[in-house]
Structure 1
Amino acid sequence: MERQGDVRGHYEELAAEYDEHWIYGPEYVPWMSGRIAEVLRLNPTDRIADIGSGTGLFAREVAEQVQPRQPILCVDPSAAMLRQLGAPPPPALAPIVASAEDIAEGRAELPYAQLDAMWLKESVHHVADQARTLRGLAARLAPGGRLLVVMLPATIEYPLFKAALDRFEELQPDPALIESHLRAAGLEADLTHVEHELRIDRDRYFGMVRARYMSLLSTFSDSEIEKGIEEMRTAHPEPVLVFPDRFAFVLGRRRGNEA
């Protein structure tokens, strides 16, 4: 999504505090992880990968819910983010320093010849050639395998400053286009939406914006961020911000064995 700047550098700097900024509330990660596991129809025998896993925030919870017999592959180009898994990482998670493109092009070696399920949560916008990369990822699926792209829709109702919302709409890929890429990759694909209400302390949210918890915010200078927060402060005097977090779930399925 970024029009400029080093995406990997952004996450390297944010790694140590990433989970703090991403956990809106105690129910959020279990909710999202449950939806991912449900839509992908995960079971303990699946060979699973979280592409763009970051700190493994969702993979860790999915592992708790699914109890996979083989480790979930946590794939991310940022070694600093993957170090947050722990040293050593939990037995249910296996870190792999690689990008989605590395996996798609076969430049990264995986312990599994094929994958039964993989997901990309809010990382597809970092991919330069989405059609090519999704086609390469689809080729790594076993018969009956599933690929899920979780992404924000083309517009959001976050209590951000106007320039950030405008830039988001300018740069965010259309979920319908991602669905068409999965179909072009030979998968059966469909698009659905899920929504979760967020409640978060206003000052905490302002702190998250200041820390650039969304990669989009890394495209703004410090002074622009502070100006934006003042705009948000005026627009939202309420002590607790309440807003919908709506996600597009784009699911692709390879024909073959019933998953």
Structure 2
Amino acid sequence: MERRDVRGHYEGLAAEYDEHWVYDSNYVPWMAGRIAEALQLDPADRVADIGSGTGLFAREVARRLKPLHPILCVDPSEAMLRRLGSPPPPDLTPIVASAEDLAEGRADLPYEKLDAMWLKESVHHVADPAHTLRGLTDQLAPGGRVLVVMLPATIRYPLFEAALVRFEELQPDPTGIEQHLRAAGLEASLTHVEHELRIDRDKYFGMVRARYMSLLSTFTDSEIEKGIEEMRVSHPEPVLVFPDRFAFILGRRGQEGT
């Protein structure tokens, strides 16, 4: 099995990353709306998108929220953050740092504390989620909120069998993330949201070939091609329709900051 480093995976994917996620014109606005709603964002909030990538969701949240302070797009990949633009939009500020950097106080942030932050499909890249989430909660102001958006322990994507099995082997359990937030002293809750995806079959095969999910970077080129052939047999329909279900784990710090 071939394994690639996560940062290298996203550095290589940066130029075409957005097109892999804008496969459904409703998806980014839908997800951004759910994030803003769950966090109860206010224009005056100091907000960070941890693992923001190219800023797809931060850009849409900013469009809706019209923040008084720029949303911080925190990501370890400079290549991904460059996709924000040069210069970046005035309502987005790129910060080259990992979640661990922020948790350990190694990131130079323009805000002393944050009122809200979200991690969308990035917590599985964190080596020690309990330690890192505790450190991230230390960056929250009293009443601050953190939202972890992640795939559930099992998914119903039209992937090849080996990829689905490996996903279940590697994916953290959302209930464990909820427990980490509680252990960090936050009030925490776990809910789920779901969005139906409709993607042209050949386009989806192309996304798999480009390894749009970091999970797929653990397969060799020949394994990917074999998997796509398996998918062709399993899914002869021209348009793939499947649920994209996400766990939303929300943590809130008390007003007294404990």
Structure 1 equivalent of residue 123 of structure 2: 124
Aligned-partner residue type, residue 186 of structure 1: G
Runs of 4+ in 1 over 3 A off after TM superposition: none
Q: Give CA-to-partner distance per residue, 1:21-78, whole Å, 9 cap, x none.
A: 1112110000000000000000100000000000000000000011100000000000
Aligned residues: 257
Name the SS for the 2:53 alignment partner. Answer: coil
Structure 2 equivalent of residue 184 of structure 1: 183
In structure 2, C-alpha distance between the alignment counterparts of 1:3 and 1:108, rounded to whole Å: 31
**2:104 aligned with 1:105:** yes
CA contact under 8 A between 2:155 and 2:245: conserved in structure 1? yes
**2:94 aligned with 1:95:** yes
In structure 1, C-alpha distance between the alignment counterparts of 2:21 and 2:196, rounded to whole Å: 15
Aligned-partner residue type, residue 15 of structure 2: A
Structure 1 equivalent of residue 224 of structure 2: 225
Q: Give CA-to-partner distance per residue, 1:150-175, whole Å, 9 cap, x none.
A: 00000000000000000000000000
In structure 2, C-alpha distance between the alignment counterparts of 1:209 and 1:257, rounded to whole Å: 47
Task: Identify unmatched segments of 5+ residues in structure 1.
Answer: none
In structure 1, C-alpha distance between the alignment counterparts of 2:44 and 2:106, rounded to whole Å: 26
In structure 2, C-alpha distance between the alignment counterparts of 1:251 and 1:24, rounded to whole Å: 27
Structure 2 equivalent of residue 79 of structure 1: 78
Q: Give CA-to-partner distance per residue, 1:66-112, whole Å, 9 cap, x none.
A: 11000000000000000000000000100000000000000111000
Structure 1 equivalent of residue 68 of structure 2: 69
**2:244 aligned with 1:254:** no
* RMSD (Å) for aligned C-alpha atoms: 1.3
Name the SS for the 1:144 alignment partner. Answer: strand
Structure 2 equivalent of residue 163 of structure 1: 162
**2:208 aligned with 1:209:** yes
Q: Give CA-to-partner distance per residue, 1:179-199, whole Å, 9 cap, x none.
A: 000000000000000000000
In structure 2, C-alpha distance between the alignment counterparts of 1:188 and 1:221, rounded to whole Å: 42
In structure 2, C-alpha distance between the alignment counterparts of 1:59 and 1:169, rounded to whole Å: 28
In structure 2, C-alpha distance between the alignment counterparts of 1:164 and 1:223, rounded to whole Å: 13
CA contact under 8 A between 2:49 and 2:71: conserved in structure 1? yes
Structure 1 equivalent of residue 39 of structure 2: 40
Name the SS for the 2:197 alignment partner. Answer: strand
Give the drift of 1:5.
1.9
Q: Give CA-to-partner distance per residue, 1:203-241, whole Å, 9 cap, x none.
A: 000000000000000000000000000000000000000
In structure 2, C-alpha distance between the alignment counterparts of 1:97 and 1:91, rounded to whole Å: 17
Structure 2 equivalent of residue 197 of structure 1: 196
Cα distance change on mapping 1:9 and 1:218 into 2, 3 Å: same
In structure 2, C-alpha distance between the alignment counterparts of 1:188 and 1:139, rounded to whole Å: 14
In structure 1, C-alpha distance between the alignment counterparts of 2:22 and 2:114, rounded to whole Å: 28
Q: TM-score, normalised by structure 1?
A: 0.98
Name the SS for the 2:109 alignment partner. Answer: coil
